[in-house]
A = this chain, B = another copy of it.
Amino acid sequence: MSEGLNTLSATEIVRRISAGDCTAVDVMAACLERVSAREDAVGAFIHIDEAQALDAARNAGPGFLHGVPFGIKDICDTVDAPTGWGSPTYHGFQPPRDASCVNLFKRHGAVAMGKTVTTEFALRHPGKTANPHNLAHTPGGSSSGSAAAVADHMLPMAFASQTGGSIIRPAAYCGVLGYKPTHGAVDLDGVMGLAPSLDVLGLMAREVSDLALGRAALCGTSPSLDPAFAARPPRIGLVRGPDWDTCSEEMRDVCENALRALQKCGAETRELADPGTFKHLVKCHSIVMSFEGARTRSFEFDHHRDQMSAPFAAFVEEGRTHSWERYEEALATRGIGQQELAGVFEDVDVILTPASPGEAPEGLSETGDPLYNRIWTLLQVPCVSVPFGTGARGLPLAVQLVGPHRGDDRLLAAAAWVHDRLRG
């Protein structure tokens, strides 16, 4: 009965349970079985309690996520599981409440399965997770466990978060869909902050329809995909960005091949020049992120530095070198970039751009480079990573789709259109 249920999308799980073909417990049991078989190798979870997960499935409430197991990045507070932020300082800490995102998922019938591995404080220093496509390679970060668990069919959907490239990059490396909402659209109550004007909570899944379901629970939007591109295909613009030349050749090929393939499927495509300020935005992102990060993690730096990785300490130290004036300048430049980007979206529905420099790098001591995500995170616009093909080492590659500020529903509709066509 439960065979293969772990490979289903959230949308399909809800449909089958509703049709009486299986139960929430069957689905959870199948997912837990997959975890038993693979967790030693993949290391996606920092905390999982089988009995508790099955019990939660047994008691799943009604709603459009009824019976869907979900993974919780370990920067989200959970009332019934410790929340450690990927740091030895907080290892084993038990919060008194669920983060709002966790509670909203449960309210709509989803079932918490366990806490997924995050890098230390959602920055660079990695946890134990490996890339399920090749265990010698990083899954990316900081949402390492969520990307790996979804990719490895341990569960259909998981929370992720992004301040630099922490959703889109691991999604790309693991060959799953990653969705970074518009900044501010998803509530962050009970979610560890890193740089508040950049931080966003988002989702990993294997189907775009699941991202719409998850968004509906978090935001109160419709659980169905916007039918925007049923009648006419989306207008798609390739924006290479200022670091196109340092991107791997295979990623450049992936973007250009995707654009051609989508044009053949009827999309109106064009190639767009970078807006004027874009060449400054990676630096602006770095200033904003480290200035704000030095404040949010000020307590840990001052009182638990012995338990902090060298890269995180260096990040705080860098943030402390930036003056308030420099920070304000970076925010002002961001404002100009946002206006320029709004202009770009007068001509296209979505931007297509690299999701990562290339395949997931070898080794588990680094999580790869967020370079191709920083600008979009700074500009606070929604992004989706859509898998497309593989690289020379057989690992997944992906394009990144970017939508206008608060244009998440349209972006997801475009991502569904693109995903359907690119997976052939």
- Chain A interface residues toward B at CB < 8 A: 79, 90, 93, 96-100, 102-104, 107, 184, 187-190, 193, 196-197, 219-221, 292, 295-300, 302-303, 323-324, 327-328, 331, 406
Q: How far is the CA of A220 from the CA of B327 in the complex (A)?
A: 10
Per a CB cutoff under 8 Å, which of B96, B100, B193, B197 touches A298?
A: B100
Q: Are B189 and A296 in contact (CB under 8 A)?
A: yes
Q: How far is the CA of A54 from the CA of B103 in the complex (A)?
A: 41
Q: Are B184 and A299 in contact (CB under 8 A)?
A: no
Task: Report the copy number of this chain in the oligomer.
Answer: 2
Q: Are B406 and A328 in contact (CB under 8 A)?
A: yes
Q: Are B187 and A296 in contact (CB under 8 A)?
A: yes
Interface centre among A197, A295, A324 (most CB of B within 10 A): A295
Enumerate chain B residues within 8 angstroms of A328, measured Cβ to Cβ. Answer: 406
Q: How far is the CA of A300 from the CA of B189 in the complex (A)?
A: 12
Q: How far is the CA of A188 from the CA of B102 in the complex (A)?
A: 20
Q: How far is the CA of A97 from the CA of B296 in the complex (A)?
A: 11
Enumerate chain B residues within 8 angstroms of A188, measured Cβ to Cβ. Answer: 193, 196
Per a CB cutoff under 8 Å, which of B90, B98, B187, B196 touches A292?
A: B187
Q: Are B299 and A98 in contact (CB under 8 A)?
A: yes
Distance of A199 from chain B, by nearest CB (Å)? 10
23 contacts between A and B (CB under 8 A): A79-B303, A90-B96, A98-B299, A100-B296, A100-B298, A103-B299, A104-B295, A107-B298, A184-B196, A187-B193, A187-B196, A187-B295, A187-B296, A188-B196, A189-B193, A189-B196, A189-B295, A189-B297, A220-B323, A220-B324, A220-B327, A221-B324, A331-B406
Per a CB cutoff under 8 Å, which of B97, B189, B197, B221 touches A184?
A: B197
Residue of B nearest to A299 (CB): B103
Q: How far is the CA of A93 from the CA of B221 in the complex (A)?
A: 34
Residue of B nearest to A98 (CB): B299
Q: How far is the CA of A295 from the CA of B102 in the complex (A)?
A: 11
Enumerate chain B residues within 8 angstroms of A331, measured Cβ to Cβ. Answer: 406
Q: Are B104 and A298 in contact (CB under 8 A)?
A: yes
Leading 9 A-B pairs by shortest Cβ distance: A103-B299, A189-B296, A187-B295, A220-B324, A98-B299, A103-B298, A189-B193, A221-B324, A97-B299
Beyond contacts A98-B299, A187-B292, A188-B193: 12 other A-B pairs, Cβ-Cβ < 8 A, are A79-B303, A93-B96, A99-B299, A100-B295, A104-B295, A104-B298, A187-B296, A188-B196, A189-B193, A189-B296, A220-B323, A328-B406
Distance of A133 from chain B, by nearest CB (Å)? 35
Q: How far is the CA of A324 from the CA of B220 in the complex (A)?
A: 6
Q: How far is the CA of A219 from the CA of B90 in the complex (A)?
A: 26
Enumerate chain B residues within 8 angstroms of A93, measured Cβ to Cβ. Answer: 96
Q: How far is the CA of A99 from the CA of B297 in the complex (A)?
A: 9
